[in-house]
C-alpha cells in the first residue's frame, strides 16, 4: 500500500453533488488542492438515472428558496455557455379531476410564501383566457414566473388538448422544466479540471480521523492512503456507509424508483407538452382476465386496487425527437443499496405496463400502448436517498473537518448547483444563505421542528 498523497479537500463521490461542490470550491472560493474520488466514472450512478426535471414547487418555503437559488445558478451557467445544459422552461402541469381545489391552492400559497415573484394567478371563465401566457418552446429566458391555475374545461382544452377531458383544474408551475444533468456535470467537471482539480477512480474503504483525515482507497492501481484536511461525503446512496466510517449514524434511507423512456411511434404525446403530473389516485384499466391473474398473486394483488397519484410524463429530446419519459415514484419499500441497482428487489418487471396505463388516464392517446409496449423502450431506475422529511443534508457532519452533501432524493439534479454551492460555502466559512442551517444535519437539534416536517401530508416526493 502506498502512503502519503496529501490534499486539502477530499470529496467522496463524483455524482452531480460531489462535482458541484468541487466546482464551487474551485471557482467561487479559489480552492486548488481538491481530489474528487469515485469508484466509477463521473455521473454514472444515480445521477445517470435522473429524469432531469426541475421545479420550484414544494410544500415548504425553505425548499422553494433552495431550488429557486439552484435554478438561478443553472440559469447563470446556461447564459454563460449558450445553454450547453439544454435548459428548457415549459413548466410543470399538475392535473386534477377535482372540481374544488381550495386545498391545492392553499398548499401553493404555503409553499411559495408571499414572494411577489412566485405569485399565484387564478384563471376562470372566458374573460381571463387572454391573461394566461402559454409555454414558449424558445426556452427559459422569457418564460413567466409564478403559478397559473387554469379552472374549467374550456381553458384547459384550449391550451392542453392532449389531456383527459376529465381534468377540470390544472396548475401550471412556471419556474420549472428540464435540463441535461449530464451536460451540467460535464461543464462543471471541465471548469474544476482547468482550475487544477484532480480526480481519482478508486473506492474509499476506510476513513480515520487524525486531526485531519486518513483515507484508505483502492483502485485499479492498488491500495493507497490519502491524507486530507477536509472530507466531503457526497456518496449518494452510500452516504450512510461513509458517515458510519466516522462513527456517525445518518437518518437516511434508500428507495428504488423507476422510469421508462420509449419511442412514441403513435405521436401520442405532443412535443410541446410540459412535464405533466396526474395528481389524482388512479385505478389501472385491466381486462377481467388480467384482474383475475393479478388478484391470484399476493405480490400483484395491490395493482387492482386504488393507487396513489403522481404518475407523470414528458417529451424528451426536443421537437424533432419521438422519445417520451414516464415515471411514477410510488415505491415505499426501503432497500439496502446495491452496487448494481438493477438487481434491487424493488425492480418491478411490470413497471413499464403499470406506468403506461396510469399515464394514459391523463393522456388518453397513450391507451393503445397498454398491453402493446412500443418495441423501442428502456426501463431503468435508481435510488432516492432521503431523510424522513425529504429535505437534503448539506453542511458540517458533526465532527471537525467533515461535511456532507447528500440525501438529494428525487431532486438532486435540480438542486445540485445550490447544494454544491452551499456545501462549498460551509467549507470556506463564507456567508451562508438563510436556509443553510435548516438544510444541515444541525436541524435534528430541533426535534419538534423535524417531527412536524416528517409528519406533513406532502413532502414533495415526485
Helix intervals (H) in 221-301: 239-245, 288-296
Under rule CB under 6 A, residue 173 binds ligand FAD: no
Under rule CB under 6 A, residue 406 binds ligand FAD: yes
Give, as ranges, the residues between 372 and 401 that touch ligand FAD (CB under 6 A).
381-384
Of the candidates 73, 74, 2, 5, the residue with the CA atom closest to the CA atom of residue 37: 5
Q: Which of 172, 259, 357, 459 binds ligand FAD (CB under 6 A)?
A: 259
Nearer to ligand FAD by Cβ, of 43 and 163: the residue is 43
Under rule CB under 6 A, residue 51 binds ligand FAD: yes
Only segment of 9-17, 123-131, 315-323, 350-358 that touches ligand FAD (CB under 6 A)? 9-17
Element holding 334 (H helix, E strand): strand 334-335
- Residues in Cβ contact with 415 at an 8 Å cutoff, skipping those fewer than 6 apart: 66, 67, 70, 392, 408
388480467: which residue's cell? 290
Q: Which of 348, 359, 414, 427 binds ligand FAD (CB under 6 A)?
A: 414
Under rule CB under 6 A, residue 143 binds ligand FAD: no
Q: Which of 7, 9, 11, 13 binds ligand FAD (CB under 6 A)?
A: 13
Counted residue by residue, the chain has a size of 462
404555503: which residue's cell? 110
Only segment of 75-83, 167-175, 405-413, 439-447 that touches ligand FAD (CB under 6 A)? 405-413
Nearest-approach distance from CB 336 to ligand FAD, in angstroms: 14
Query: Under rule CB under 6 A, how many of the chain's residues touch ligand FAD?
Result: 41
457526497: which residue's cell? 234
Give the distance, in angstroms, between the CA of residue 321 and the centroid of all CA atoms in the same chain. 23
Report CA-CA distances (Å) from 279 to 30, 231, 246, 303, 362: 45, 41, 41, 18, 10
381534468: which residue's cell? 167
Under rule CB under 6 A, residue 420 binds ligand FAD: no
Of the candidates 421, 255, 284, 412, the residue with the CA atom closest to the CA atom of residue 345: 255
Helix intervals (H) in 33-180: 61-80, 102-112, 153-159
Nearest-approach distance from CB 235 to ligand FAD, in angstroms: 4
Of the candidates 184, 216, 260, 159, the residue with the CA atom closest to the CA atom of residue 16: 184
Of the candidates 27, 62, 49, the residue with the CA atom closest to the CA atom of residue 385: 49
Question: Rounded to the nearest 5°, which phi and psi values hold at 234?
Answer: -125, 45
Nearer to ligand FAD by Cβ, of 103 and 321: the residue is 321
Of the candidates 229, 181, 236, 226, the residue with the CA atom closest to the CA atom of residue 204: 226
Determine the number of helices (DSSP H) and then strands (DSSP E) in the chain: 10, 19
Nearest-approach distance from CB 443 to ligand FAD, in angstroms: 19
CB-CB neighbours of 377 under 10 Å? 17
Under rule CB under 6 A, residue 49 binds ligand FAD: yes
Under rule CB under 6 A, residue 410 binds ligand FAD: yes
Nearest-approach distance from CB 439 to ligand FAD, in angstroms: 14
Under rule CB under 6 A, residue 278 binds ligand FAD: no
Nearest-approach distance from CB 73 to ligand FAD, in angstroms: 13
* Distance, CA of 226 to CA of 169 (rounded, Å): 57
Helix, strand or coil, per DSSP, at residue 333: coil
Nearer to ligand FAD by Cβ, of 23 and 286: the residue is 23
* Distance, CA of 425 to CA of 24 (rounded, Å): 8
Nearest-approach distance from CB 229 to ligand FAD, in angstroms: 19
Nearer to ligand FAD by Cβ, of 286 and 328: the residue is 328
Under rule CB under 6 A, residue 257 binds ligand FAD: yes
Q: Which of 9, 22, 25, 37 binds ligand FAD (CB under 6 A)?
A: 37
Give, as ranges, the residues between 192 and 251 that touch ligand FAD (CB under 6 A).
203-204, 234-238
Nearest-approach distance from CB 223 to ligand FAD, in angstroms: 13
Nearer to ligand FAD by Cβ, of 75 and 128: the residue is 75
Nearer to ligand FAD by Cβ, of 132 and 380: the residue is 380
Under rule CB under 6 A, residue 185 binds ligand FAD: no
Nearer to ligand FAD by Cβ, of 251 and 285: the residue is 251
Only segment of 14-22, 287-295, 371-379, 439-447 that touches ligand FAD (CB under 6 A)? 14-22
Q: Which of 10, 12, 71, 269 binds ligand FAD (CB under 6 A)?
A: 12
* Angle between helices 181-194 and 412-428 in degrees, nearest 10: 30
Nearer to ligand FAD by Cβ, of 234 and 303: the residue is 234
* Distance, CA of 235 to CA of 35 (rounded, Å): 14
Which residues would be at the binding site for ligand FAD (CB under 6 A)? 12-18, 37-40, 45-47, 49-54, 203-204, 234-238, 257, 259, 381-384, 406, 408-414
Amino acid at each position: 500500500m502506498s502512503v502519503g498523497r496529501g490534499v486539502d479537500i477530499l470529496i467522496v463521490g463524483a455524482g452531480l453533488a460531489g462535482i458541484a461542490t468541487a466546482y464551487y470550491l474551485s471557482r467561487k472560493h479559489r480552492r486548488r488542492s481538491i481530489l474528487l474520488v469515485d469508484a466509477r466514472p463521473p455521473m454514472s450512478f444515480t445521477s445517470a438515472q435522473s429524469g432531469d426535471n426541475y421545479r420550484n414547487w414544494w410544500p415548504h418555503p425553505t425548499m422553494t428558496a433552495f431550488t429557486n437559488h439552484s435554478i438561478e445558478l443553472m440559469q447563470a451557467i446556461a447564459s454563460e455557455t449558450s445553454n450547453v445544459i439544454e435548459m428548457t422552461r415549459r413548466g410543470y402541469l399538475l392535473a386534477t379531476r377535482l372540481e374544488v381545489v381550495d386545498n391545492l391552492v392553499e398548499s401553493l400559497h404555503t409553499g411559495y410564501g408571499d414572494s411577489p415573484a412566485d405569485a399565484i394567478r387564478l384563471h376562470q371563465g372566458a374573460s381571463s383566457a387572454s391573461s394566461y401566457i402559454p409555454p414558449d418552446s424558445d426556452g427559459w429566458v422569457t418564460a413567466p414566473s409564478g403559478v397559473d391555475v387554469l379552472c374549467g374545461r374550456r381553458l384547459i382544452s384550449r391550451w392542453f388538448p392532449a389531456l383527459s377531458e376529465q381534468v377540470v383544474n390544472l396548475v401550471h408551475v412556471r419556474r420549472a422544466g428540464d435540463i441535461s444533468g449530464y451536460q451540467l456535470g460535464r461543464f462543471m467537471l471541465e471548469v474544476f479540471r482547468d482550475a487544477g482539480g484532480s480526480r481519482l477512480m478508486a473506492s474509499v474503504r476506510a476513513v480515520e480521523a487524525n486531526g485531519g483525515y486518513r483515507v484508505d482507497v483502492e483502485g485499479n492501481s492498488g491500495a493507497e492512503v490519502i491524507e486530507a484536511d477536509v472530507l466531503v461525503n457526497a456518496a449518494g446512496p452510500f452516504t450512510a456507509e461513509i458517515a458510519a466510517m466516522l462513527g456517525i449514524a445518518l437518518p437516511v434511507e434508500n428507495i428504488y424508483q423507476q422510469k421508462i423512456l420509449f419511442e412514441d411511434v403513435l405521436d401520442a404525446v405532443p412535443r410541446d407538452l410540459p412535464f405533466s403530473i396526474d395528481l389524482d389516485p388512479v385505478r389501472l384499466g385491466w381486462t377481467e382476465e388480467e384482474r383475475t391473474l393479478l388478484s391470484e398473486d399476493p405480490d400483484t394483488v395491490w395493482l387492482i386496487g386504488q393507487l396513489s397519484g403522481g404518475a407523470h410524463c414528458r417529451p424528451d429530446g426536443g421537437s424533432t425527437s419521438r422519445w417520451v419519459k414516464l415515471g411514477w415514484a410510488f415505491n415505499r419499500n426501503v432497500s439496502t443499496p446495491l452496487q448494481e441497482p438493477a438487481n434491487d428487489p424493488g425492480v418491478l418487471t411490470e413497471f413499464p405496463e403499470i406506468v403506461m396505463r396510469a399515464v394514459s388516464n391523463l393522456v388518453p392517446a397513450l391507451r393503445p400502448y397498454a398491453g402493446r409496449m412500443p418495441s423501442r423502450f428502456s426501463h431503468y431506475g435508481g435510488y432516492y436517498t432521503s431523510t424522513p422529511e425529504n429535505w437534503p443534508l448539506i453542511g458540517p457532519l458533526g465532527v471537525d473537518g467533515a461535511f456532507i452533501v447528500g440525501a438529494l432524493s428525487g431532486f438532486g439534479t435540480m438542486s445540485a448547483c445550490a447544494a454544491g454551492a452551499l456545501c462549498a460555502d460551509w467549507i470556506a466559512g463564507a456567508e451562508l444563505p438563510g436556509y443553510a442551517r435548516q438544510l444541515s444535519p444541525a436541524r435534528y437539534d430541533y426535534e419538534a421542528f423535524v417531527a412536524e416536517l416528517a409528519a406533513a401530508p406532502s413532502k414533495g416526493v415526485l
